[in-house]
Structures are given as C-alpha cells and as structure tokens.
Structure 1
C-alpha cells in the first residue's frame, strides 16, 4: 500500500498539496508560491493515508520537514518489526530519531501479549520464577506478579497490536 501525506503551508495565503514520495514533495514544494508570488518555505507535514504502523511511526518521530526523507525511506525499507522497535524506542522510551537512525541501535525488549497478566503467566510457565510444581500454580497471584512486572515493563499498542515492552 502506498502512503499519502499532505504538506500544509504555515503561510495562510498558500494552498497545501498531497504527495506520496520525497521527490514528489520536493518538486511541489519548490514550485509552490503564496498569493503574493513569494516562495513558500515552511510546511506542517500531515499523515493522511497508509498502513496503521506507518501512521504510528509518523506520530512517534514527530514527522516534519527535517526528518521527512528519513521517514519515507524507513516506510519503504523497514519491516514491521523494525518500525515497531523505533516507534517504542522513540515514541515511548525517549530515544531520538536522527538522520542515520537504525532500528538495531535501540535496546528494546518486545513481547506480543495483550495484557500484563498474560505476560506474568508466561513468565511463570517459562520458569523465570524457578521450578513451581503444577499443583501450586493454581495458588499464584498472577495479578500481583503483573503489578510487579509493570515496574519494569509497559504496555502499548503499535499498528493495532497490543505489546508489552521494556526499554533497557
């Protein structure tokens, strides 16, 4: 699916335009003039249509003229896992998105669980709390374990999928 963005000029006497690639943006931005015939230089970049995860990426990095090319390259080149990692790292953990940002540089642990309680149950099943006999597992307070895990882990929704994550 292609992406559609809109460049809204800060100059109120100029009319914005839609675009779907950096080349399209650069061409239309260079040609745009306001009602006085002066070139328009500053735009607010708005996400209009595309994949849900690409919208989340635009929101997380704070898409603007300065990072537009990097954003469009990321949309084209990165898979959903890379985008998710950057969305969580930049949008939730406070990392910065720069010219040479690569998803692999962020130390974010991501787990595909809908709730913290499911995550707690997974921890117990995997033996992370030691070997607990099956007959005693029915007496565990998974909600309390989930509350304890919430000190180090957080919940988020990225691209319509619920996740549990931790920034290291």
Structure 2
C-alpha cells in the first residue's frame, strides 16, 4: 500500500503520514494546530510506494476528497488497469468519478513495445496487413509503416516502462 502525507495548509500545524483512508480519517480528526484548532485542509502528497502507484496518484490528482477511490484502485486494480487509467486521465484528460471508476470504461489499446518500429513489425508479423508472401517480406518498409502508425498511436512511459497506446 502506498504511503501518503497530509500536509496542512495551516502553517501552524504539523502533517502526518498515512496508508489508508481510515488511517487518514483518524489522524485528521485528531490533528490540531498550535492554537488548538482542528486542521481542516490538507495537501495530499505521495511519499512512498510502487512506481505505478506514484504515477496513478499523479493521474488521479489525489486530494483529501478523492483519496478513498485512489486507495481502492491501488488495492484492487491490476497494473494494466492502472496504466489504462493513467493514460486516460493523466495524458488524455478524460474525466472520471473518483468513487466509481472502472478502467474498462476508457477506450485505450496498450502495446508493450519500445518503439513505433517495433509496433510496425509486430503488426506485420501478426498479419494485420494481410498475408505477405515470403519473397516480398524483405521489401516491406517498416520505417514508413512506423511513421504512419505515429498518426494514430502515441508513445509514453509509465513507471519506467515504455508503452504505445491508441485511444478513441
């Protein structure tokens, strides 16, 4: 589970670390500033955890109103679902309900390749351009196919992994 920090906007108060919504709620309920007043507003900061959960926090734009959904996503989603969400919300700008979001709602196709060239080769090998006779295979211009793919596909890096995606 990722570790977050609640940094008060009140300069006369101390923040606290937490690892769940319940942990946040109990610490926030008890947190007081130097004058004894309850601290109400916090900036939520990602402190420690997996790289994918850090990228998810950034795409989620975590704050004190939406961390419950974020923690649920960290706990319940597979890495590929997190990547789809990071692309949809973080790169494309899709809106989402932080309390009821499902990565399958986003129309994002992921390819685990390092370059457009590699994607072009994979698509040719899988027959997406039809059957290519063996004696003509050496004449296929992979660079041209890669350039054409770049019109509909985008390269990105998430948690240290290079990916190519297409979104509708």
Structure-2-length-normalised TM-score: 0.94
User: In structure 2, the residue corresponding to 1:138 is in which secondary structure?
Assistant: helix
User: In structure 1, the residue corresponding to 2:139 is in which secondary structure?
Assistant: coil
Q: Deviations over 1:19-69 (max 9, x none)?
A: 111111001111111112211111111111111110010011111112100
- Once residues 91 and 12 of structure 2 are traced to their aligned partners in structure 1, the CA distance between those partners, rounded to angstroms, is 37
Look up the match of 1:80. 79
Structure-1-length-normalised TM-score: 0.94
Q: Does 1:140 align with 2:151?
A: no
Look up the match of 1:57. 56
Structure 1 runs of 4+ with >4 Å offset:
none
Look up the match of 2:130. 130
User: 5+ unaligned residues in a row in structure 2: which ranges?
Assistant: none
Written as runs of structure 1 = structure 2, the 5 A alignment for 1:12-91 is 12-91=11-90
Q: Deviations over 1:74-132 (max 9, x none)?
A: 11111112111111111112212312111111111111111111001111112222222
- Once residues 130 and 165 of structure 2 are traced to their aligned partners in structure 1, the CA distance between those partners, rounded to angstroms, is 22
Q: Does 1:167 align with 2:167?
A: yes
- Once residues 139 and 6 of structure 2 are traced to their aligned partners in structure 1, the CA distance between those partners, rounded to angstroms, is 57
CA contact (8 A) 1:61 1:97 kept: no
Moved more, 67-76 or 158-167: 158-167
User: In structure 1, the residue corresponding to 2:33 is in which secondary structure?
Assistant: coil
| Count of matched residue positions in the alignment of Structure 1 and Structure 2 | 167
Look up the match of 1:108. 108
Moved more, 138-147 or 14-23: 138-147
